[in-house]
A and B are shown apart, each in its own frame.
Chain A
Amino acid sequence: MRRCLESPARRWGSALRGPAAVVTAAALTLGASGCAAMPGGGRVTSVKAQERSEQADESYVRLIPVAPRDNWSPQDIVSGFLAASASFDDDHRVAKEYLANPNGWRPGPRPSIAVFADRPNPTLTPGTNDDQATISLEGIQLGIITPDGQYTAFQKKVRVDYQLTRNAQHQWRISALPDALGQTMLLNKSDVEQVFRTFNLYYFAPDKQTLVPNGVFLPLVNREDLPKRLVQAVISGPTSWLRGAVWSAFPRGTKLNGLSLDKDVATVDLSKEAANGDVNQMSAQLAWSLGPLSEIKQWRLRIEGRGVVTPDGKSDVQTFGDWQANSPDGITVDGHRAYTIGAAGHLSTLGLNNFIPMPVVTNAPGRMIRPAVSPAQHEAAGLSPDGKQLLLIDDITTNGVPHVLRTAKDPEGRFTPPCWDRQGTLWTVETSPGKSMLWKREPGKPLKPVWHWGLDGREIYALQVARDGVRVAVVAKIDGRKQVQLGRIAGSGDRIDAGSFVPVSSELAETDDLSWRDYNTLAVLGRKTLDTQVLPYLMPVDGSAVTSLGVGSLGEPVSIAAVSGGPVLIGTKGSSQRLVCHQSAFRDRDSEWACSVAGSDPTYAF
């Protein structure tokens, strides 16, 4: 045996056989289980910040309706139907269960909606027998969403009747929907807010270069279908609000064959009609419209019969960045130029780095307030200090003298601060209490009133044409309240139609002045309630919440000027002197106001 132990092979063998094997196994097991424990130390591992992949995937809430129960009364049936209408799942499957003839009602994915303030209470109309009943609803209708997604405020009191019969199972069902509504669905405000989301569709301004956002309401039925719905909406053209004012690159009859998503690359498959369209312009429209969807980072455009098409000078896989040139805000090549009326009353440039006014027009100081400088930065328009005269300096580079373009006719009349659009057209409203008139002066032409002005019965306090040149924001007195309205300019030549004004927000009780911050946001001076101070706010034009801008004392703000990618400038009237205020760090919405520049009426030259 001793000899055996001397042999290494033998020793190994016996170790596996004998009690030593148990020890070995136990040691191995202990070692292995030690490895399995969670780490209690170790080096620091830095983790890269995740891309904002699902950040924009704002979660949403869906109403889950109940199917009609046995023994429900006619009132219950109508109430249940109204509640179930808010559920767009499976093409309103549950709501259809309330109907005697489910196939007779086809709301579709984008129905027209009558928006009620509340869920009205159904009342049983007398004359009901055992098999037939009429239920009437009374309520306040706030407005209507048309199938193209345009919301039109139209407040009125409405009463509608529902006819009910008993079905074979002796249960009440709706046999006839109200005639007054037709296929329109009745939802209350909170239902609409829950189901619908606003999206901007983009169409071309008449210059066919700048895109114009067209806010629409789309039901958010399913997040996955959203890109498809959005593309379909873009293809189907602008809403009635912008129709005639903008232009879509998609040829008539173009349909979406499909939209597939592979990781973050979408393939938009258009029907063959699209072959006649301009690939670049269609791509730009799609790019801007799909931009907010976080799941799509890149996309391809495929047209039936032409395969994947490639825009000029770009790759076939497009990104949002490819189409920045079509921004509704336009492109500013050499930075923004700000102007102000200096302390001595000269029209001055305002350096955006040091905020020191440098006079450019030294003639006739104090003759002009509320200046507006043309995009070419040659002409400057303004008002006389009493606001009754519209003044124009023909060439500020040669120190021109302001001359009167027009004087208000009405004794109480005055002009809104003038504004220039992208083409160099000057716009202003001559207004007096209860009436107004829009004037326009194309470059080198005389001042002329526009053919149609949608707010001719209202007093106007401010008017600013958006940088896309199509939309126009005004502060008008409606129902005794100075509120912001958004309209559009359509037509050309002499037949200019400036109208279709819709309220932008009801959050501010009163608004004094406004300026376009960017294509989706107005910078406004206003107050939340009538008894509070006038403060600057940012007001998105798509109807989302108004947010306050900056903190700190401002004095009494009187005018506001804003630009995309530049600081908001506010002209204030202090106790002793007029000051121009700007945010200490304008990219931070909540940074403090700094009011150190002596001057007034700041403005941006486009």
Chain B
Amino acid sequence: MRGRVLVVDDDLALAEMLGIVLRGEGFEPSFVHDGDKALEAFRETRPDLVLLDLMLPGADGIDVCRQIRAESGVPIVMLTAKSDTVDVVLGLESGADDYIVKPFKPKELVARVRARLRRTDEPAPETLQIGDIGIDVAGHSVKRGDKHIPLTPLEFDLLVALARKPRQVFTREVLLEQVWGYRHAADTRLVNVHVQRLRAKIEKDPERPEIVVTVRGVGYKAGPA
């Protein structure tokens, strides 16, 4: 499997090192070192995944993330030196699918990248229905009635994971494992932020969710309570 990975990082040494690692794992990396040029590079290269450093000269990583997300649902994994909640949540809310805190092990990085690219490997023709939302798994589309709802792949995965077993309650850890591919329990904020984003898109009233429902003290489930 070859995937094009766009590495947006101002640190040349790290970028080169990441390049070595990714190439070693069979990916096809390309690099951009300036935030201002990141969108341009993205449009040129059309990568399958973006590795984005949060701290960039020029346009901030957050801004870059928003710009890319505005154009595409491509998986974005953020690299950050700050593990503080505020920074992470900010990054996730701006559209990143996952994040990885520096310093990280090369294997960890590769695992995340793989996890984000894995979906494309297993198409399964299937349609699901939660409430008034219809999901075409193979067609990778979500509709309310005839209205198409654009979702990022991650959001789609999340919705599908929940929708496949309606009324079953998923803990955040289970979701992390199924959707993000974490073996160990990791940061559950990831789940929280993405559920919020998902709700913002598919719920009629995000304040009173009907499709992705919170089960207090446990996690989430699909379908009406």
CB atoms of A and B under 8 A apart anywhere in the complex? Answer: no
Q: Using a CB–CB distance below 8 Å, which chain B residues touch chain A?
A: none
Q: Mark A residues whose CB is within 8 Å of B.
A: none
